[in-house]
Amino acid sequence: MTATPPPPGDLDAIQDPFALFAQWFEHARAHEPNDPDAMALATVDADGLPDVRTVLCRGMGPEGLVFYTNHESAKGRQLTAHPRAAGLFHWKSLRRQARFRGGVSPVDAATSDAYFRARPRLSQIGAWASEQSRPLDARATLEARVEEFSHRFGEAPVPRPPHWGGFRLVPDEIELWADGAFRLHDRVRFTRSGDGWTRRRLYP
């Protein structure tokens, strides 16, 4: 059964965009059937061509949104060269979305280490085995690399690869959208202003 989201009037009741987003996210975690933490992440390449893919948001709060990746992957190289990005959460069954735009910076090594240690062991091995975004001649090659690194680390703890870690998207702009009947949606944009936010309602 599809969960009924709270009425969109809460867009007027809460002035802090992260406080409101936190409420929406917790509701999505309770009711969205698939990957409520999935975030479409948009970057640009060296030619200015947009690139987008889905990542999992593994940390959120007033300091920003955190996700992890191979820094030598396409998105990792793009973010290093052009450290600005946009993120989108679309909770289809709840008829809501949240958009974020702003600067991106690497998280500190201790934060990346802690998250890496919490991952399943095979995911840790995969971070070493996968040359993410690079050409792969055959699936068997990847499987052989997984075996290679599994043998290398044996039963010992798997260290975090030096090329793998987190990024934090620190938004300058947040837009929250709630579905409305007859496409009369509820839409509010928050723009960073000093230590606070300027709030503006938008036509749908």
> What does the pLDDT read at residue 3?
47
pLDDT tens sequence across 133-186: 999 999 999 999 999 999 999 999 999 999 999 999 999 999 999 998 888 888
Q: Residue 52 is encoded by which pair of tokens?
A: 């987008």
Q: Examine residue 25 and state whether it is found in any structural domain, yes or no.
A: yes
Please check whether residue 61 lies inside any domain of the structure. Answer: yes
The more confident residue out of 13 and 38 is: 38
Determine, yes or no, domain membership for 2. Answer: no
Yes or no: say if 31 and 23 are a contact pair by the CB < 8 Å rule.
Answer: no
Nearest to 30 by CA among 93, 119, 89, 88: 93
Query: Strand pairing partners for 100?
Result: 87, 174
- The distance between the two most distant Cα atoms of the chain, rounded to a whole number of Å, is 59
Look at residue 3 and tell me if it is in a domain: no
**Cβ atoms within 10 Å, residue 146:** 16
Look at the chain and report how many structural domains it folds into: 1
Q: Quick check: helix, strand or coil at residue 164?
A: strand
Average pLDDT over residues 85-90: 98
Range of the domain at 168: 10-118+163-201
In a domain, 127, yes or no: no
CB 63, CB 170: distance < 8 Å: yes
SS3 state at 197? strand
44 inside domain: yes
Q: Kindly indicate the confidence band of residue 10, based on its pLDDT and cuts at 50, 70 and 90.
A: low
pTM for the whole structure: 0.90
With pLDDT > 90 as the criterion, what percentage of the chain qualifies?
86
Residue 93 lies in a domain: yes
On whether residue 64 sits in a domain, the answer given is yes
> Over pLDDT 70: what percentage of the chain?
95
As annotated, the active-site residues are: 183
CATH of the domain at 47: 2.30.110.10
